[in-house]
Amino acid sequence: MKPRISAGQFSILIANFIFSVSAISLPQVLIKSSGHYSWVLAPVTLPVFFLFVFIIIGRAKNQEQFKNIFVPDSDHSFVEKIFYLCVFLFMALILIRDLRGFVDFVAAVLLPNTPIDILVTLSLLVILYVTVSGLEVIARVTVIQFVILGVIVAALPLLLLNEIQIGNLQPILGMEALPGVFKSSYILFSWVGEVVFIVTIIAHVEPIKKIRKAAFQGIGIIYTLLCILLATEIGVLGTKILEVSTYPSHQLIQQINLTDFLDRLDVFIVVVWLPNIFTKLALALFCLNKALSCLVKRETNVYILPVSLILGHLSILLFKNNINQIDFSFYTWPTLGSSLEIILLALFILIKWQRKKKLQNKTT
């Protein structure tokens, strides 16, 4: 039986897929590029991604005919095969990048004496277990964990109210901000543009007519939380500290000090945060497996284990240390990721056009 998720779960999956990993280090590179103006990136670029999602999904009346794009046992055109191959490559790169970024974060914050290869192996076991459980389980776990994470992020300004310095956010607007904001927007596009992954799970959303609204809600949640996080980090820590901080979000929550005996809330928040990253990586592996199943024309989980082990090994080999991973994430990925996202969007539009034309020919 085909797994089913609700429109609400769909929106949370989108929000978690983008926000959970990007919150680790993305604020640092955004603030390094645009300074204290980084928090305005959300309202500036939000319309672009609403348009991006609208192009992917299209009008409500045309959505029903695209439910069977990711069906492994059907005959696929040459364009569709290229599309599946690009989806596989895109998800593989995301998995390699985020798995290594996550492991480096754990090694730096929680388990500094544990070898990287052990952390990668243990992480893959958890990710594999969640992935094999299916999309419905991934969605349920994501909803529970992301709601908790969202409440924590939304509460950060209140928890750090005494630490916020309004002067760090001023001046609000200025012409000198335009080059930095443009550069940060370019970097942000490659990360939020990962929302293109929704093409692999659209067919599982019920009712399918609500997917456009749900996708808009997911993008809105991402930008709301990102805006809160950036504004709070700038207000509390200031741009000079954030520009040289590898993990600014963790450094921010270390500033929370409610009482004399509750001064290590960062450990609790990080532990709450980790399952969101696991579910994001499990969803990426699920989408990768769907693309691979379409390429081999058979719905199967046989390839999940060897492929995940290969990608985990590559995450160790390709990056010597966390600096290499950060350089790839914030200096190579903006161009590479944006290019793949645009290619996927163009191929998906072409497939939709081909299928619409076939349906018209059948009706006539």
pLDDT for res 271: 83
Residue 111 is given by DSSP the state -
pLDDT for res 203: 82
Size of the chain in residues? 364
pLDDT for res 244: 83
Distance CA 293, CA 349 (A): 21
In terms of phi and psi (left: phi > 0; alpha: psi -120 to 50; beta: otherwise), the region of 82 is: alpha
pLDDT for res 263: 58
Structural domains of the chain, with CATH: 7-363 (1.20.1740.10)
pLDDT for res 51: 86
Claim: this prediction has a pTM higher than 0.75: yes
Report CA-CA distances (Å) from 3 to 134, 308, 364.
Answer: 8, 22, 33
pLDDT for res 144: 93
Joined tokens for residue 34: 């645009």
pLDDT for res 211: 86
Nearest by Cα to 150 from 280, 8, 283, 20: 20
Nearest by Cα to 304 from 282, 319, 274: 282
As to burial, measured by CB atoms within 10 angstroms (0-12 exposed, 13-18 middle, 19+ buried), residue 257 is: middle
Distance CA 242, CA 233 (A): 8
pLDDT for res 76: 73
pLDDT, averaged in runs of 10, over the chain (364 residues): 85 94 86 81 81 79 62 74 93 95 89 90 93 92 93 89 82 71 86 90 84 90 90 88 85 76 68 90 94 84 90 92 87 92 91 75 64
* Residue 43 preceded by cis peptide, ω within 30: no
